[in-house]
Chains A and B, each alone.
Chain A
Amino acid sequence: MLSLLLLPPMLKALIAIVFGGIAFPACGVMILRLDLVPLRYALMHGVILGGAIALALNLPSLPLIIIVNLLVVVLVLKLQTNNSVSSAAAMVFTMGLASLIMHLFDVPAKDSLQLLWGSPFALSYIDLGVLIALCIILFIYIIVSFKDIVALFFDSDIARSLGLNVDFHYSFMVVLIALTVALAMRLIGALLIDALLILPVLIASKFSKGTKELFIKSSLSGLFISVLGYFLSLIYNFPLSATIALSAALMYLILNIVQKILINKRFKNEKDTFITN
């Protein structure tokens, strides 16, 4: 297996999975705490539109996906009467346009499916570089602006009353999310993005009492899930993104069951103590 790992695509994929596993959940914390789940859907569809344009014009997909996602962000921020509504409008628009482009340019179905599933083995060195750069920017931003991020998560009115430039931080986080979603799509595909964006955060939230803990534990969960998925896929020759997604979902499910059992046990113990007394 070691010799397999030393093959450039395998090694590249492992590095990407490690960086993605750490960074994507940190972005997931922002998505969930800023209530940007609808925007995330719009960005996932933006990824499909960017990918469709790239396939139709035979251009590198990542720059186009990033451009489309940044345009989606600008559109949503400009139309910010209601985040959900503008995100839904962006989602419908991008998906409709992607479908039309694929039809007009006769994009093969197999190629378009690749957009949905992704592949870390197909990453170029540029993709990998962009991913690592994004990770570094993301974590520098979180560390430097942690107090401001907590304030914004807590309440935007209170953050503003503390003199925080809420619009800047909100826009910066949304741009980071747009870039992350674009990269996550290349890594594990548009349909499985949640495996590394959202599920690790949901897992970590069960064991965290604060925002700092939530960021750290989400990133550690993401790292564990992605590395576990990587090696399982290698051992059993499963598709990587699906294995990562299944590992995340199973981990979440098992933790939920364990938590329920523990709660029931504690409830039973408390009840027994009450009856004895």
Chain B
Amino acid sequence: MDMIKQELKNGNTLNIFNGEELIFSSKSNWLNPLFEADEFFTNNPQKFDNLMAHDTAGGKAAAALMIRMNIKRVHFNLVSEQALKLLKEYNVELIYDKKVDKLLCMTEDLLSSETNIDSIYSFLRIKAKKVSGLSIDMNNVSIGYNKKAVFKNLNLSLKAGEAVVINGENGIGKTTLIRTLLGELSPVSGSITIDGTNINKIEKSTIGYIKQEKEKQNFPTNVREVVAMGIKEKLSKKDKNYLIETSLRKCRANHLVDRNYYTLSGGEKQRVSIARTLAQKAKILIFDEPTSFLDHESEEELAQILQALNTTQMPTILCITHDVELIKKLNWRVYKMERQDA
């Protein structure tokens, strides 16, 4: 029995089936049902291999989201020509009741020239306000110790969900900048605001810090404990475990949950550290020389994770590194801290 051919009932706007089993449905509007489904798949440990969907209307945006969720067959009551083309390109089988040249919505126009699924996804998340990051504004900031500036007139603005690489030679003040952003040092002058609020007034847990790993520990700490240390809320044991496992799953590290952290590879450690910041619900992530102690393979893996994080969860990311290879792989905006004359 072809479930997706059946009429949408009870006010549902989207039904998703795995084979004949209805696994997800939503009554929301616009792209929200698809974002809800995306969240459902991210948090669900089960693997679905035969996904089919029935949606009321599908433009290019809906088509891209369905392709991303690995849906193999789609039934749209109303489909646009752009959606049809995209689904065909990705070999998704389509059934539709009515076809139009394009849907009468701005999103369809804005996406007309975009072909990359990840770019479409990021764009839609921003549009749907599903960005977990916060904006950062640094205006004429001088950073240093004991009121003595080591780096002056730093001007850098990041939009919510933007990712940027901060690069500069050793001793230029990168660590001082990190310590200032973490609230351990106050700016010597100038102002730093997070989402319009002075940095001194924001919750510490807003910023997740991932630093370079070098120490070898002979005593164990398991991955669950590492991720749990980021959780600030008072949760029941069940909810806490759910949050830990969901955070690890988002970083493809849920299989490591009971392992000793110190026996993991460099790349696995970085994934667990990112999961810690997700459990922390950090909105800004600071990576401090993340590739320093990684082998080539782990470096590749880290770059992929950072890219995925920037596409999916979209926290605001500051990656402080002098690793040229990583900078090339990430292809993010680069802010270079240059030596200043005394």
Residues of A whose CB lies within 8 Å of any CB of B are 29, 32-33, 147, 150-151, 153-155, 157-163, 201, 205, 208-214
* CA gap between A153 and B230 in the complex, in Å: 14
* Chain B 153-208 interface residues, beta-carbon cutoff 8 Å to A: 182, 184, 203-205, 207-208
Q: Scoring B residues 211 to 239 as 1 if CB is less than 8 Å from chain A, else 0, what string do you get?
A: 10000001111101110111110000000
A158 in contact with B211 (CB, 8 Å): yes
**Which of B219, B224, B230, B232 gathers the greatest number of chain A CB atoms within 10 Å?**
B219
* CA gap between A37 and B181 in the complex, in Å: 33
**Which of A29, A154, A159 gathers the greatest number of chain B CB atoms within 10 Å?**
A154
The residue of chain A having its C-beta at the shortest distance from the C-beta of B258 within the complex is A209
Q: A155-B211, A157-B211 are in contact. Are A162 and B229 (CB under 8 A)?
A: yes
Nearest-Cβ distance from residue A216 to partner chain B, whole angstroms: 12
Nearest-Cβ distance from residue A175 to partner chain B, whole angstroms: 22
**Contacting B225 at CB < 8 Å: which of A29, A159, A201, A212?**
A212
Give 9 CB contacts A-B under 8 Å: A147-B231, A154-B226, A154-B261, A158-B211, A159-B229, A201-B219, A205-B220, A210-B260, A211-B220
Nearest-Cβ distance from residue B278 to partner chain A, whole angstroms: 14
* Neighbouring A residues of B247 by C-beta, 8 Å: none
* Neighbouring A residues of B232 by C-beta, 8 Å: 162-163
Q: A150-B225, A150-B229, A160-B182 are in contact. Are A210 and B203 (CB under 8 A)?
A: no
* CA gap between A162 and B229 in the complex, in Å: 8
* Neighbouring A residues of B219 by C-beta, 8 Å: 29, 32-33, 153, 201, 205, 208, 211, 214
- Residue B329 at the A interface, CB < 8 A? no
Nearest-Cβ distance from residue A245 to partner chain B, whole angstroms: 22
- Residue B280 at the A interface, CB < 8 A? yes
B225 in contact with A163 (CB, 8 Å): no
**Which of A33, A155, A162, A211 gathers the greatest number of chain B CB atoms within 10 Å?**
A162
- Residue B209 at the A interface, CB < 8 A? yes
The residue of chain A having its C-beta at the shortest distance from the C-beta of B226 within the complex is A154
Interface of B is mostly: loop
A210 in contact with B224 (CB, 8 Å): yes
* CA gap between A151 and B209 in the complex, in Å: 13
* Neighbouring B residues of A147 by C-beta, 8 Å: 228-229, 231
Nearest-Cβ distance from residue B279 to partner chain A, whole angstroms: 11
* CA gap between A114 and B207 in the complex, in Å: 54
* Neighbouring B residues of A201 by C-beta, 8 Å: 219
- Residue B68 at the A interface, CB < 8 A? no
A161 in contact with B225 (CB, 8 Å): no
- Residue B336 at the A interface, CB < 8 A? no
Q: A158-B211, A163-B204, A163-B205 are in contact. Are A209 and B182 (CB under 8 A)?
A: no
* CA gap between A126 and B12 in the complex, in Å: 73
A205 in contact with B259 (CB, 8 Å): no
Nearest-Cβ distance from residue A229 to partner chain B, whole angstroms: 24
* Neighbouring A residues of B205 by C-beta, 8 Å: 162-163
Nearest-Cβ distance from residue B284 to partner chain A, whole angstroms: 11
* CA gap between A151 and B211 in the complex, in Å: 14
Nearest-Cβ distance from residue A202 to partner chain B, whole angstroms: 9
Nearest-Cβ distance from residue A29 to partner chain B, whole angstroms: 8
Q: Scoring B residues 123 to 142 as 1 if CB is less than 8 Å from chain A, else 0, what string do you get?
A: 00000000000000000000
Q: A147-B229, A154-B226, A161-B209 are in contact. Are A210 and B220 (CB under 8 A)?
A: yes
B225 in contact with A158 (CB, 8 Å): no
* CA gap between A71 and B205 in the complex, in Å: 35
* Neighbouring A residues of B208 by C-beta, 8 Å: 161
Q: A162-B280, A205-B218 are in contact. Are A210 and B204 (CB under 8 A)?
A: no
* Neighbouring B residues of A161 by C-beta, 8 Å: 182, 204, 207-209
A210 in contact with B225 (CB, 8 Å): yes
Nearest-Cβ distance from residue A155 to partner chain B, whole angstroms: 7
The residue of chain B having its C-beta at the shortest distance from the C-beta of A153 within the complex is B221
Nearest-Cβ distance from residue B179 to partner chain A, whole angstroms: 9
The 7 A-B residue pairs with the shortest CB-CB distance, nearest first, are A163-B204, A210-B222, A161-B209, A151-B229, A209-B260, A150-B225, A209-B222
A214 in contact with B220 (CB, 8 Å): yes
B182 in contact with A150 (CB, 8 Å): no
**Which of B205, B211, B221, B229 gathers the greatest number of chain A CB atoms within 10 Å?**
B229
* Neighbouring A residues of B228 by C-beta, 8 Å: 147, 150
* CA gap between A209 and B259 in the complex, in Å: 7
Nearest-Cβ distance from residue A159 to partner chain B, whole angstroms: 8
Q: Scoring B residues 229 to 266 as 1 if CB is less than 8 Å from chain A, else 0, what string do you get?
A: 11110000000000000000000000000111100000
* CA gap between A61 and B7 in the complex, in Å: 86
* CA gap between A154 and B261 in the complex, in Å: 10
The residue of chain B having its C-beta at the shortest distance from the C-beta of A152 within the complex is B229
* Neighbouring A residues of B226 by C-beta, 8 Å: 150, 154
Nearest-Cβ distance from residue A191 to partner chain B, whole angstroms: 24
* CA gap between A133 and B209 in the complex, in Å: 38
Nearest-Cβ distance from residue B226 to partner chain A, whole angstroms: 6
